[in-house]
Amino acid sequence: MAAMTMARLQLCHPSSPIIKPSMLLLKLGNSPSHALRPRKFSVTTTTPCSASNHSQTQESCDGSIVGDLLDYLNESWTQFHATAEAKRQLTAAGFHLLNENDEWDLKPGGRYFFTRNMSCLVAFAVGEKYTVGNGFHVIAAHTDSPCLKLKPKSASSKSNYLMVNVQTYGGGLWHTWFDRDLSVAGRVIVRGTDGSFVHKLVKVKRSLLRVPTLAIHLDRTVNKDGFKPNLETHLVPLFSIKSEEKSLELKDKDTAASSKAVHHPLLMQILSDELNCGIDEIVSIELNVCDTQASCLGGANNEFIFSGRLDNLASTFCALRALIDSSKSSNDLSSEPAIRMVALFDNEEVGSGSVQGAGAPTMFQAMRRIVGCLTHNKVSEGGIERAIRQSFLVSADMAHGVHPNFMDKHEEHHRPEMKKGLVIKHNANQRYATNGITAFLFKEVGKILSLPTQEFVVRNDMGCGSTIGPILASGVGIRTVDCGIAQLSMHSVREVCAKEDIDIAYKHFKAFYENFSSIDKKLQVD
């Protein structure tokens, strides 16, 4: 991030340590927005795109969360890491961890959260003026992004190369994954010495994999006919050159040999080294293929954020930070009659139909338990139903900014631009859950801080994507607005958005938590 001089970071050597963007900002000021990050400098083999200038230092001191977002993105290579980092930040902010398997003891003014599958998280802060029937004010987003995932049997070999079999997850722009420096991250189950099993996260930061393109000399028509890879046979990452089994210095050769048909012994050795455990102690793995290039600022004035997984970790982070910062002290909740909530789901990119996805009744079950607990299970008639009718959901998912080279792909009167605020998404066929009332209320929230908003509808001659908004609106029966930050290159291995829109989204979400109760009671519909 920023430096007080124009000197750039000396990061050319691949083994050089990289200082987290926000930690550089910390050295230049004591902004309260960085109070949640006691982390040390991280070391990785990737390099930021550029050093930043003095203006960004001033932005950080003025309360920008962009540096913190870059930290979050660089930490969150997978949905598991994104959830674990959110858990760490909530704990550091004083939120109490709950377990869905235990009885809950909740109180007005309290702040709580729980995780499911370590890829889904629900956090909430109870207003001190809460009474039964009052609503939930929720921002929902998702933790997953399109990627490649290792198959259950990932080991394969071709032409003396060791390859890693993968399956595609979501609707990625898969051609962008070719010729990238890739690695693996995810979770493993490790057997303890006492026979128990432990869930651990793993991230191999160095470049392990690559999907090489075919040289143009062997594919002369590719620029004319287009690059059309077969996703089963052409999208197989290169891992290593085959070597004799005896040349691999494995800690446990017997175990490695027995697992050879499932995963490469060399891969298992790398994982065991990262986890500081024996190969035989690893009993299950669930790994994503990840791009190793760090998230960073770019553009002539460092106005862009270049990163993987902006869809939808940018929304996730803005929502999480807004909840934390709007509920820091008892004074923040002293006059709040509602319950402020953030819900982060997995598997949105593949339809949300999982126990950790928005299609599961996670949010509704949490609402019912919260209401029951706060009323000591003496809920009056229709208590939970009345609470849902008083509730409001902001479905936050990245939006399609107008592409300067493909402007005709947008409806000409609805072309969202960067640096112009959150995009409210509309679709007459309910691919988005926004209606006239919910759009109006969300705009009113923004007006308090003079925050801009934009509108988006898809062209009539094109299909429309969707979000978790309609799933939650219809499944729970909650009023919903769909919105998002404008971006380019959605579902590419590297995406881009404007850094200014991150701060606008954060401010809008924070204003939603702090002011929606007073705005909502001014409007009567039914």
- For residues 378 and 218, which has the higher predicted lDDT (pLDDT)? 218
Cβ 416 vs Cβ 400: under 8 Å:
yes
For residue 16, tell me if it sits in a domain: no
Model's pTM, two decimal places?
0.88
pLDDT at 57 over 60: no
The answer to whether residues 339 and 476 belong to one domain is yes
- Using 50, 70 and 90 to split pLDDT, how confident is the model at 330? confident
For residue 250, tell me if it sits in a domain: no
Q: Give per-residue pLDDT as tens, 134-168.
A: 999 999 999 999 999 999 999 999 999 999 999 99
Strand partners, 342: 123, 139
Residue 175 belongs to domain with CATH number = 2.30.250.10
First CA to last CA distance, the chain: 50
Token duo for residue 499: 């850094």
For residue 44, tell me if it sits in a domain: no
Rounded-to-integer distance, Cα 35 and Cα 152, Å: 41
Cβ 456 vs Cβ 423: under 8 Å:
yes
Position 27 scores a pLDDT of 42
For residue 424, tell me if it sits in a domain: yes
Neighbouring residues of 280: CB distance < 8 A, sequence distance ≥ 6: 191, 252, 255
Within 10 angstroms of residue 91's Cβ, the number of other Cβ atoms is: 13
Of 157, 501, 106, 154, which is closest to residue 339 (Cα–Cα)?
A: 106
The answer to whether residues 90 and 167 belong to one domain is no
Within 10 angstroms of residue 448's Cβ, the number of other Cβ atoms is: 15
pLDDT at 415 over 50: yes
CA 144 to chain centroid: 6
- Using 50, 70 and 90 to split pLDDT, how confident is the model at 41? very low
C-alpha radius of gyration, the chain, whole number = 24
Q: In this prediction, what percent of the chain has a pLDDT beyond 90?
A: 82
The answer to whether residues 400 and 280 belong to one domain is no
For residue 43, tell me if it sits in a domain: no
Q: Give per-residue pLDDT as tens, 259-272.
A: 446 999 999 999 99
- Strand 304-307 and strand 495-498: the pairing is antiparallel
Q: Give per-residue pLDDT as tens, 19-31.
A: 455 554 444 444 4
Region 61-65: what's the mean pLDDT?
Answer: 79
Q: Give per-residue pLDDT as tens, 349-363.
A: 999 999 999 999 999
Position 50 scores a pLDDT of 45
The answer to whether residues 141 and 151 belong to one domain is no
Region 72-100: what's the mean pLDDT?
Answer: 98
Region 446-471: what's the mean pLDDT?
Answer: 96
Crossing angle of helices 79-92 and 310-325, in 10° steps, is: 10
Position 382 scores a pLDDT of 85
The answer to whether residues 374 and 499 belong to one domain is yes
For residue 40, tell me if it sits in a domain: no
The answer to whether residues 188 and 120 belong to one domain is no
CA distances 205 to 20, 314, 406, Å, are: 14, 21, 35
The answer to whether residues 181 and 74 belong to one domain is no
Of 481, 419, 401, 499, which is closest to residue 444 (Cα–Cα)?
A: 481
Region 48-61: what's the mean pLDDT?
Answer: 45
With 0-12 CB in 10 A as exposed, 13-18 as middle and 19+ as buried, what is 290?
A: buried
Residue 91 belongs to domain with CATH number = 3.40.630.10
SS3 125: strand
Rounded-to-integer distance, Cα 491 and Cα 138, Å: 25
Position 26 scores a pLDDT of 44
The answer to whether residues 111 and 168 belong to one domain is no
Dihedral (Cα; 146, 147, 152, 154), 10-degree rounding: 160
The answer to whether residues 467 and 394 belong to one domain is yes
Render 244-272 in DSSP notation, one character per residue: -GGGS--S-HHHHHHTTTTS-HHHHHHHH
For residue 6, tell me if it sits in a domain: no
In the chain, how many domains are there? 2
The answer to whether residues 130 and 155 belong to one domain is no
What domain range is 110 assigned to? 65-145+308-521
- Using 50, 70 and 90 to split pLDDT, how confident is the model at 49? low
Rounded-to-integer distance, Cα 506 and Cα 98, Å: 26
Rounded-to-integer distance, Cα 375 and Cα 355, Å: 27
For residue 207, tell me if it sits in a domain: yes
Cβ 22 vs Cβ 68: under 8 Å:
yes
CA 454 to chain centroid: 23
Render 372-435 in DSSP notation, one character per residue: HHHTTT-PPTTHHHHHHHT-EEEEE--EEPPPTT-GGGS-TT----TTS-EEEE--TTSSS---
Of 507, 493, 495, 503, which is closest to residue 176 (Cα–Cα)?
A: 493
The answer to whether residues 137 and 153 belong to one domain is no
The answer to whether residues 206 and 271 belong to one domain is yes
Round the average pLDDT of the chain to a whole number and report it. Answer: 88
Position 244 scores a pLDDT of 65
Burial code (b: 16+ CB inside 10 Å, e: under 16) for 399-415 equals bbbbeeeeeeebbeebb
